[in-house]
Structure 1
């Protein structure tokens, strides 16, 4: 295999999470036991330091249609509003006829906030269901896989290009990055929002490793990719969203100097050896210890006769459940808000999903798989905590 970023052949396995199903393939009852399994291994590139999966589940399988909706979670929508307002106030507040392109625009949640600020918006979304929802909500959305060919068809340039939680998904990585360079105005800003691998390691959030996430970036490694395509990051900040994400501001190479905070974050990666193999090998050992600790906790709770429900059915939760081997032997059901997951089962472990409003009884323990929205979950469920229901967070993210 060649490195997805720099084409080097000098790669080494750093983390092996075994054979797992594609974790966004929530199952209908008749599909249980029929789901395919794929290797889930993280490789380290000795040339550029990028960590990445060695196996690609085809994008048409993973992104042609799925049940994830950005708008379900209030704190994510609030985060997107903040991003839109920051981009506008910093770069384009007095600009006429301003425009934004969102790659992997999902149900249009991010673009709605740009619409409020007066932008002409366009989303490109590969999932049929979510693109349809966005268009119905008045957010113009092209149902397609974004790449250079799509940009050439559109034949227009944008003030802002946004990619939130999508840049690590890309099978056509170089075509997409070249497409961004081509579609970005000379004075434009590309806003790239991605899970920060440094923070994933610190949080021990290994569940954020799954087949949709082909690459895991630090600042050092994403800049290798951007520079290769004539783009350059000039500023970045860490947001607490999803346990720690980078909001990176990018433009054409040579246009803007790196900010002080970007340079500080780069230096921190060097100081803390964030892009070295030894860090990832230690990460793998800590994942094993975490597995033992969680299985001990769950087994003791069951021995005490406690009823355990999963809180949320996020895609990443399936990495954890499958790697730990946690199914209905420990957890009765997964409680969800997202109506698109009604009546479905988790891939691999086959835990039934129940919509929150339809619960007939409450558990003694909520095993929180949607841990990245910890603050919102605890705030919304204080009444249950007051009743004595325990909320157990297998991952406890540090604040950004």
Structure 2
């Protein structure tokens, strides 16, 4: 295998999460037990330091249609609003005819906030269901996979290009990055929002490793990719969204000097050995220990006769459930807001999904799979906590 970023063949096995189903394929009853399983292994590149999966589930399988909706969670929409306002006020507030392209635009939540600021908006979204939802909401969305060919067909340039939570998904990594360079105005800003691997390790959030996430970036490693395509990061900050994400500002190489805070974050990665193999091997050991501790907790709850429901049915939760081997013998159901998952079952462990408003009874424990919205969950459910329902967070991020 060649490194997805730098083409090196000097790769080493780092983390083994076994064989798992594609975790965004929530199952109909007739599909239970028929879902395919794929290797979920993380490799480390000794040349550029990028960690990445060794197996690619084809993008047409994973992203042609799925049930994830970014507009379901209030705190995520609020985050997208803040990003739009910051980018606009900092770079383009008084610009006439300003435009934004969103790659992997989902249901249009991010673009709605840009549209409210007067932008001409365009989304490119591969999932037909979510693209339809966006178009029906008045957000012009092209249902396709973004790449250089799409850019050539569009034949236009944008003030802002946004990619939130998609840059680690890319099977056509270099075509997409080249397409971004080509579609970005000479004075444009590419806003790339990505899970920060440094935080994944700190939070022990191994469930954020799944087949849709082909790559896991730190600042140092994503800059190798950007520089290869004539792009350069000039500023970045750490947001608490999803347990720790980088919001980075990128433009054409040589246009802007890196900020002091970006330089400081780069140095912190060096000081903390964030891009060294030893850090990932230690992470793998901690994941194994976490499995043991969680199984003990769930077994004790079962022995005590307690009912446990999963809180949320996020994609990443299926990595955790499958790696731990936790099914209906421990967790009765997964309680979810997203109507697109009504009546479905989790891949691999086959736990039924129940829509939140249709619960017949309360559990003793909510095993919180949607831990990345901890603050919102605890705030919204104080009435249940007062009734004695325990909210258990298998991953406990610092500030979400």
- TM-score of the pair, normalised by structure 2: 1.00
Instruction: Please give the secondary structure, in 2, of the residue aligned with 1:121.
Output: strand
For residues 339 and 238 of structure 1, what CA distance do their matches in structure 2 show?
31
> 1:164-175 counterparts in 2 under 5 A?
164-175=164-175
Matched, 1:73 2:73: yes
In 1, Cα distance between equivalents of 2:256 and 2:248: 13
Partner residue of 1:243? Answer: 243
Counterpart in 1 of 2:356?
356
CA shift, 1:359, in A, is 0.3
Mapped partners of 1:277, 1:377: distance in 2? 35
Quote the residue 1:330 is aligned against. Answer: 330
Q: Deviations over 1:314-334 (max 9, x none)?
A: 000000000000000100000
The whole-number CA distance in structure 1 between the counterparts of 2:196 and 2:331 is 30
Residue pairs, 1:1-400, within 5 angstroms: 1-399=1-399
CA distance in 2 between partners of 1:255 and 1:396 (Å): 39
Q: Matches of 1:38 and 1:183 in 2, distance apart?
A: 35
Q: Is there any run of 5+ residues in structure 2 with no aligned partner, and where?
A: none
Q: Tell me by how many angstroms 1:381 deviates.
A: 0.2
**What's the CA shift for 1:398?**
1.4
- Cα offset, 1:138, TM superposition: 0.2
Counterparts of 2:19 and 2:158, CA distance in 1: 41
- How many angstroms apart in 2 are the aligned matches of 1:187 and 1:161? 12
Shift of 1:399: 2.6
Aligned length, in residue pairs: 400
Runs of 4+ in structure 1 deviating by more than 4 angstroms, as ranges, are none
CA-CA distance at 1:58 after TM superposition: 0.1
C-alpha distance after superposition, 1:277-302 (max 9, x if no partner): 00000000000000000000000001
Q: Where do 5+ consecutive residues of structure 1 fail to align?
A: none
Aligned-CA RMSD value: 0.5
Q: C-alpha distance in 2, partners of 1:92/1:75?
A: 25
Within 2, Cα distance between the matches of 1:396 and 1:265? 23
Structure-1 separation of matches of 2:100 and 2:386:
45
Q: Matched residues in 1 for 2:86 and 2:167: separation?
A: 20
